[in-house]
Structure 1
Amino acid sequence: MNNCNNRYIITGGPGSGKSTLLDKLSALGHQCFEEISRVIIQEQHQIGGDKVPWQNLSEFAEICFERMSIQLYECKPERKCFFDRGLPDIIAYVRRGGLPVPPKYFQQSNQYNKTVFLAPPWKEIFINDAERPESFEDAVEISIFLRNTYEELGFTVIELPKFSVADRVQFIDNYLSTDKDS
């Protein structure tokens, strides 16, 4: 497997600006990986399926796990890669749903850099859509589960400031250029 030092996760609750940030990082030439969970939800809506987090969380999590694991192999070892959510997100969501977490989710979660960027809940930019039906209060709770899970797994959680997208990109670039562990 590729060296994990160049694999950075951007996580956070729904509607916290992750995808917009990843789009900007991608436009600047970074290798970025889309949010698999959103893709799966879109696919399930198209076929009338129930493998979405609010109907069949365990099956949804398993599909996410499989596809996120594939993303890891697609990261070029010579470049920084940014992921819109990582495997530990699945652990947090499964825990929040009160389900047991399969051991393989923990085993694969060490395939990323130990620095993870958390986009905090941000009411001013929060919106709902077909793939994000959660309320802002749900987003806050999810964010807490995410932070706790990442910290429990030994990640250093760096909270992104509530800045413009360009300033968030600059924040990440500045942090990674001064972080000796990355």
Structure 2
Amino acid sequence: MQSDANHSDSDRFFVLTGGPGSGKTTLISALSKAGFHSTVEAGRAIIRDQATIGGPALPWNDPALFAELMLNWEMRSHALASAQAGPVFFDRGVPDIAGYLHVCGLPIPEHVEAATRTLRYNRKVFILPPWKEIFGEDSERKQDFQEAVRTHEAMVEVYTAFGYELVAVPCLPVEERLHFVLAAAGLSNIAAAK
């Protein structure tokens, strides 16, 4: 059951999701520079940490364990955001874990579904579509563009299934994306006041 605190916070918690390499982290950075609270993407941070310590929870070694660490990260991000005042922008959310498992062909455990039902965000979820012109691979992002497309499709499916309304962010320069997201979130006036 959803607590009153989670319910009231959900209105001010905005998720940016989509496939890898679609510009989410760049947009989150622009939102932070505009004065909004934001979270750090779980996947890259976990890969960095696991690589540093020689840990087993890397997506190419143990995707199920990697998903568990991402779930813990996203749950903690949600809890920490509750202590912050005002809007918070999330670089992915708890439902992304279900989408990731789907892309990997792994079952979605009941506890992941429970977390997705319990820890809620604003009904409007911003989804950034695959954008080949900015997509790139690196040591932490080993997916190719086709996997980015499959991830995007999985996020559409999962977020829709859990009752979210997806708002597609157009493939535009980051400043224009920033203004689009703030307008769609009803936060343009707050941004102007910062």
Q: What TM-score comes out, normalization by structure 2 length?
A: 0.87
Could you tell me which runs of 5 or more consecutive residues in structure 1 were left unpaired when the two chains were aligned: none
Q: CA deviation at 1:149?
A: 0.8
Q: Distance in 2 between matches of 1:99 and 1:86?
A: 19
Q: Distance in 2 between matches of 1:40 and 1:176?
A: 29
The letter of the residue matching 1:147 is: V
Q: 1:140 aligns with which of 124, 146, 149?
A: 149
Q: What TM-score comes out, normalization by structure 1 length?
A: 0.93
- Is contact 2:124–2:185 with CA below 8 Å preserved after alignment? no
The letter of the residue matching 1:145 is: A
Q: CA deviation at 1:81?
A: 0.5
- Corresponding residue of 1:131: 140
- Corresponding residue of 2:115: 108
Q: Distance in 1 between matches of 2:73 and 2:41?
A: 10
The within-5 A match list for 1:9-20 is 9-20=15-26
CA RMSD of aligned residues (A): 1.4
Q: Distance in 2 between matches of 1:15 and 1:39?
A: 15
Q: Distance in 2 between matches of 1:31 and 1:134?
A: 28
Matched residue SS, 2:77: helix
Matched residue SS, 1:109: helix
- Corresponding residue of 2:190: none
The letter of the residue matching 1:84 is: D
Q: Distance in 2 between matches of 1:106 and 1:151?
A: 14
Instruction: String of CA shifts for 1:90-120, please: whole Å, max 9, x gaps.
Output: 0011112121212222222242111110110
- Is contact 2:36–2:87 with CA below 8 Å preserved after alignment? yes
The letter of the residue matching 1:22 is: I
Q: Does 1:48 align with 2:57?
A: no
Q: 1:23 aligns with which of 11, 26, 29?
A: 29
- Is contact 2:25–2:91 with CA below 8 Å preserved after alignment? yes
Q: Distance in 2 between matches of 1:8 and 1:143?
A: 17
- Is contact 1:6–1:77 with CA below 8 Å preserved after alignment? no
Q: Does 1:119 align with 2:128?
A: yes
* Deviation larger for 138-147 or 77-86: 77-86
Matched residues, number: 178
The letter of the residue matching 1:6 is: R
- Corresponding residue of 2:183: 174
Q: Does 1:8 align with 2:14?
A: yes
Q: CA deviation at 1:87?
A: 0.7
The letter of the residue matching 2:166 is: V
- Corresponding residue of 2:174: 165
